[in-house]
Structure 1
């Protein structure tokens, strides 16, 4: 029975890695679609979001079955409960990649944001992609140094997010109302994507070390 339980826990971990991989692929395509005004990539991300949702639901059902049948305790219980919360964050990250893609689709063939903000969004998108890739590796091997790296890169995303607000609220801003709305929404989507990754990194760090670091506010 113990061997079956351990196999089920491995299936949970493998499921999280699979979902995280799909999320990393989604955000890479979404940021390219956003920055390049590539409607084909945008449509691909939007169409494939259900795959992330389906795998997250299947993993949740497995975790609930484990809780009901195996009644885990101590660290094993924390692993299963954390998996449910991580799955929810990954599903939300997939949704955010979809939101970024929807903005690209709505504004096609135009770019979503004015020229003055495009370098900021290119940098923000690159950071989100790197964070997502690191998250896949973190879920594979629980490397706490990767958890720290994700938090550090999230700080950079936060700074860029604030710079977007400073820009659109500044006296020199010449954008139309739609530019202001699109820019602030897009910036928020990028920022929240990174925040969810930090929340996941925190849970993995806790499982690996037993040390709890408060989640970011925002």
Structure 2
């Protein structure tokens, strides 16, 4: 029974990493489609989202089957519950890349972005893809130290998002309300993609250590009292 359990957990971990890879690739393509107003690439992202959704269903089914049939406790239970939560984060990452692609498709053949913000979104796309790759790495390695560094790497996305609003709020903005709404939504999509990648890393830390980041070990809590 234990051999079967570990095989099933290994299979679940592999599928989670596959989901993360697909979300990462989708955001990379969605960003290129956005910057180039490339309808073909946008359609690829939209179609590929079906694979992410299928993996999401498969991972959830495996996790719930493990709960129902194996009755895991302690560390094993933590792995299964973390897996279910990670599925939700990865599914959302895929959906956010999908939203980017849909805005590109909706505005085609025009560009969704004014030229002056292209640089922001090129960099936000780069950071988002890098965070997705890092999340996939920690899913495979379960390295809590590498996972903890994702929070610092996410600071770059937060800075870009804040600077983007300075452009939108500038009274010299001349691109109208529709463009401002698109830029606002797109900026939010990239920020949330990064946040979910960081959340995946936080769940890996919990999986590996039994504590969420920022939670002190019990002996340190006792010392503070």
Normalising by structure 1, we get a TM-score of: 0.94
**Aligned residue number for residue 156 of structure 1:** 156
Deviations 1:91-149 (A, max 9, x none): 01000000001111112222211111111111001000111111111111112333233
Measure, in 1, the Cα distance between the counterparts of 2:2 and 2:149: 35
* Cα displacement (A) at 1:154: 1.3
Q: Are the equivalent residues in 1 in contact too, given 2:148–2:213 (CA < 8 A)?
A: no
Mark the runs of 5 or more structure 2 residues left unpaired by the alignment.
215-225
* Match status 1:30 vs 2:30: yes
* Cα displacement (A) at 1:12: 1.1
Count of paired positions: 214
Map 1:1-218 onto structure 2 (within 5 A): 1-213=1-213
For the pair shown, which has the larger CA radius of gyration, 1 or 2? 2
Mark the runs of 5 or more structure 1 residues left unpaired by the alignment.
none
Deviations 1:74-102 (A, max 9, x none): 11101000100100110010000000011
Measure, in 2, the Cα distance between the counterparts of 1:29 and 1:186: 14
Normalising by structure 2, we get a TM-score of: 0.91
Measure, in 2, the Cα distance between the counterparts of 1:152 and 1:30: 24
Give the root-mean-square deviation of aligned CA atoms.
1.2
Measure, in 2, the Cα distance between the counterparts of 1:185 and 1:24: 19
* Cα displacement (A) at 1:193: 0.3
Secondary structure of 2:171 counterpart:
coil
Secondary structure of 1:149 counterpart:
helix
Worse overlay, 142-151 or 178-187: 142-151
Measure, in 1, the Cα distance between the counterparts of 2:166 and 2:211: 35
4+ aligned runs moved over 6 Å, structure 1: none
Measure, in 1, the Cα distance between the counterparts of 2:21 and 2:119: 26
Worse overlay, 169-178 or 39-48: 169-178
Secondary structure of 2:174 counterpart:
coil
Worse overlay, 142-151 or 64-73: 142-151
